[in-house]
Chains A and B, each alone.
Chain A
Amino acid sequence: MNNSQINRLKDKTFNYFGIFCTLIGLVILAFFIGSIFYDGLRRIDWDFLTSLPSRKAEKAGILTAWVGSIWIVIFTFIIVVPLGISAGIYLEEYAKKSRLSSLIEVNISNLAGVPSIIYGLLSLEIFVRLFGMGNSILAGSCTLALLVLPIVIVATREALKAVPHSIRAASYALGASKWQTVWEQVLPASFGGILTGVILAISRAVGETAPLIVIGALLYVPFTPSSPMDEFTVLPIQIFNWISRPQHEFTINAAAAIIILLLITFIMNGVAVYFRNKWQKKINW
């Protein structure tokens, strides 16, 4: 073989190696998910969804866990959406190039890199103790809202950036004020992008475990919460609790609960990707 043939052979080989590497992660993930479905699917029935946790694995259910997760998601949503979108609007539409605005920008990208467990430590001192919220749903929601805030802000800014300047100019030309322009024109035009970011942020919040453990979310809650000040558990913590037990029956429970958690996560991510694609097609102004 001459040099050129060797080079071409190497080139081809790398092509296959590339395909292999691209697929291996996905294949492993598919295998994992398959094995979880194999273990857990037969455990999922109506009783599993509507039973309280129990010391007996075959009687235990995930009622308190998914109800807790829904409470957490609702309050996280209520806190993070206005906050994140407002901050995004300020940085993209209002802030002038100043030291403060560049400080905020650097700060947001730094916050996005802070490990989630550190947010748990922050909330343990501030929300749980200083503000006296205790280990309540509200404290948990505040924690997760701060954690996913950078995601919403960045998505909002990207979406606002995609709205062409001519739309704003036209609005001003008709005599609209700055806020009228933002509220009536720019925000509706960027809705799809913002929505995608919000869904991804909430999907991230649903799967978070560590910061909620740090603020004192309970492993065992024998009741469903009825107010935001109640103690709570969430689906990932229930899963963690069952994984930590040595008995095989609890492992099956964990697998079954993971199926539910994965379904929620995948559906949310799928919806987000769908909206993103739809919106990206639309914004070819």
Chain B
Amino acid sequence: MKKEKIIEGLLKLSALVTILTTVGILYVLLSESIAFFREVSIWEFITDKEWTPLFVNKHFGIMPLVAGTLLTTFIAISVALPIGITIAIYLSEYAHKRFKKIVKPLLEILAAVPTVVYGFFALTVVTPFLQSIIPSMSGFNALSAGIVMGIMIIPYVSSLSEDALSAVPKELRNGSYAMGSTRLQTAFKVMVPAASSGIIVSVILAFSRAIGETMIVAIAAGQQPRLTMNPLVPIETITAYIVQVSLGDVQHNSIEYRTIFAAGITLFIFTFILNNIGFYIRKKYREQYE
């Protein structure tokens, strides 16, 4: 009996490691950020329009990094959302079961390719191609990075949305067909509204994934924090800034070192809020159907 208790204790301990990880993340981000905000006011952090902690004339306004992050994210979502949802509708309403069985795992390859590889695509294939159409485009820009990121997150949108569509009770679909609707009418007037919460969750999670994506933007979007919505010029995202500092030679305990934690906590807050909205909607939606 004693052995049983010890084993249960060890198993529980393993499960608690996940709690410890979260506590550790919060502790690290908060303690270094608090040290950062002793030297830089939160007001300056939020309102200053320049981010130049590595220069002599230091500015600590997070806005340019946030703008860069949102810009690449919006481009990625505008690629992934229409394609992902169309795929989900096609697979659940039109495609043969066999086709679906083959295509779904193939699409998930898109999310399994290491992001550094996507960064390479963006820089060496997509940017030169876009430059041949838009000659004024810079070698580093938000557009290529965003488009490639969008391709990467297609399966996040399509898989979860397709699951949501499949979870809609068959009776709804059959009812619609019985009224003489086409597949398209059934899809958009019945199925999509019925699965809307699941589809919204998929988009939120894809959004969160895009905000935290690092290597594609670090490689292809540039290292110039800039408060702009112009997708053709170099920008910098929060994640790319953290990489840039990590690659350099920055003294521990210096203000430059602490900026990556202040940037990190900003990123963490964004993804935390998005993930929890997604989690909340999913929970509510489950209750609806079961």
The total of interchain contacts (Cβ-Cβ below 8 angstroms) comes to: 246
- Give the chain B neighbours of A269 by CB distance below 8 A: 109, 112
Stretch among A70-78, A164-172, A223-231, A250-258 lining the B interface:
A250-258
Asked if B260 CB lies within 8 Å of chain A CBs, one says yes
In the assembled complex, the Cα of A18 lies from the Cα of B22 at a distance in Å of 41
B255: shortest Cβ distance to chain A, in Å?
16
> CA A89 – CA B7 in complex, angstroms?
11
Please give me the residue from chain B that is nearest to A178 by CB atom: B4
Q: Are B15 and A87 in contact (CB under 8 A)?
A: yes
* A21 and B90 form a contact (CB under 8 A): yes
- Secondary structure dominating the interface of B: helix
Q: How close is A16's CB to chain B, nearest CB, in angstroms?
A: 10
Give A159-185 interface residues, CB cut-off 8 Å to B: 177-179
B167 interface contact, C-beta 8 A: no
Residue in contact with B271 in the complex, picked from A29, A90, A114, CB distance below 8 Å: A114
B276 and A91 contact, CB distance less than 8 A: no
Asked if B239 lies at the interface with its beta carbon under 8 angstroms from chain A, I say yes
Contacting A at CB under 8 A, from B191-230, are: 205, 208-209, 211-215, 218-219
The answer to whether A107 and B87 have CB atoms under 8 Å apart is: no
Residue B56 at the chain A interface, CB threshold 8 Å: no
Q: Are A179 and B4 in contact (CB under 8 A)?
A: yes
Q: Quick check: is A210 within 8 A (CB to CB) of the other chain?
A: yes
Q: Are A149 and B17 in contact (CB under 8 A)?
A: yes
Q: Is A266 an interface residue (CB 8 A)?
A: yes
Chain A: interface secondary structure? helix
Look across to chain A and name the residue whose beta carbon is closest to the beta carbon of B29.
A121
Chain B residues with CB under 8 Å of A89's CB are 11
- The answer to whether B89 has its CB under 8 Å from any CB of chain A is yes
Q: Would you call A118 an interface residue if the criterion is a C-beta within 8 Å of the partner chain's C-beta atoms?
A: yes
**Chain B residues, Cβ within 8 Å of A64:** none
- A210-B218, A265-B112 known; A125-B28 Cβ under 8 A: yes
CB-CB < 8 A to B54: which residues of A? none
The complex places the Cα of A11 from the Cα of B18 at a distance, in Å, of: 48
Q: Are A111 and B215 in contact (CB under 8 A)?
A: no
Cβ contact within 8 Å between B125 and A258: no
Q: A32 with B121: in contact, given A18-B86, A110-B275 (CB under 8 Å)? A: yes
CB of A271 closer than 8 Å to a CB of B: no
Query: Across the interface, which residues of B come within 8 angstroms of A83, CB to CB?
Result: 14, 17
State in angstroms the CA–CA spacing of A242 and B215 once bound together: 14
Q: Which residue in chain A gives the minimum CB-CB distance to B13?
A: A86
Chain B residues whose CB sits within 8 angstroms of the CB of A26 once the complex forms: 106-107, 109-110
CA distance A17 to B123 in the complex (A): 29
Pick from A86, A146, A239: contact of B14, CB under 8 Å: A86
Q: Contact partner of A240 among B17, B83, B116, CB < 8 A?
A: B116
Q: Mark B259-272, 1 if CB is under 8 A from A, else 0.
A: 01100100110011
**B276, A214: Cβ atoms under 8 Å?**
no
A interface with B by C-beta (< 8 Å): 7-8, 10-11, 14-15, 17-19, 21-22, 24-26, 28-29, 32, 35-36, 82-84, 86-87, 89-91, 94-95, 103-104, 106-111, 113-122, 124-126, 129, 146, 149-150, 153, 177-179, 203-204, 206-210, 213-214, 216, 219, 236, 239-240, 243-244, 251, 254-255, 258, 261-262, 265-266, 269, 273
Interface 0/1 of B4-42, CB less than 8 Å to A: 100110111111111101101100110010000000000
Other than the given A115-B271, A116-B212, 8 more pairs (CB < 8 A) read A110-B276, A113-B205, A113-B278, A115-B267, A121-B29, A177-B4, A179-B8, A210-B242
Residues of chain B whose beta carbon lies under 8 Å from any beta carbon of chain A:
3-4, 7-8, 10-19, 21-22, 24-25, 28-29, 32, 82-83, 86-87, 89-91, 94-95, 103, 105-107, 109-110, 112-117, 119-121, 123-125, 151, 154, 182-185, 187, 205, 208-209, 211-215, 218-219, 239, 242-243, 246-247, 252, 260-261, 264, 267-268, 271-272, 274-276, 278-279
Query: 8 A-B residue contacts at CB 8 Å?
Result: A7-B184, A18-B89, A18-B94, A32-B121, A208-B114, A210-B215, A210-B243, A239-B117
- Interface contact B264-A117, CB-CB below 8 Å: yes
B110, B184, B213, B278 — which one has the most chain A CB atoms within 10 A of its CB? B184
In whole angstroms, what is the CA distance A18 to B261 when docked?
43
A262 touches B19 (CB 8 A): no
Min CB distance B82 to A, Å, is 8
Complex Cα distance A97/B124, Å? 52
Minimum distance in angstroms from A149 CB to a CB of chain B: 7
Cβ contacts under 8 Å, B117 to chain A = 36, 207, 239, 258, 261-262
Inter-chain contact A22/B212, CB cutoff 8 Å: no
A149 with B242: in contact, given A114-B25, A240-B215 (CB under 8 Å)?
no
Among B24, B86, B182, B239, contact of A8 (Cβ-Cβ < 8 Å): B182
Residues of A within 8 A of B212 (CB): 114-118
- Cβ–Cβ contact B243 & A19, under 8 A: no
Chain A residues with CB below 8 A from B21, complex form: 111, 122, 146, 149
Shortest beta-carbon distance from A153 to chain B in Å = 7
B contact residues around A7 at 8 Å (CB): 182, 184-185
Beta-carbon contact of A107 and B19 below 8 Å: yes
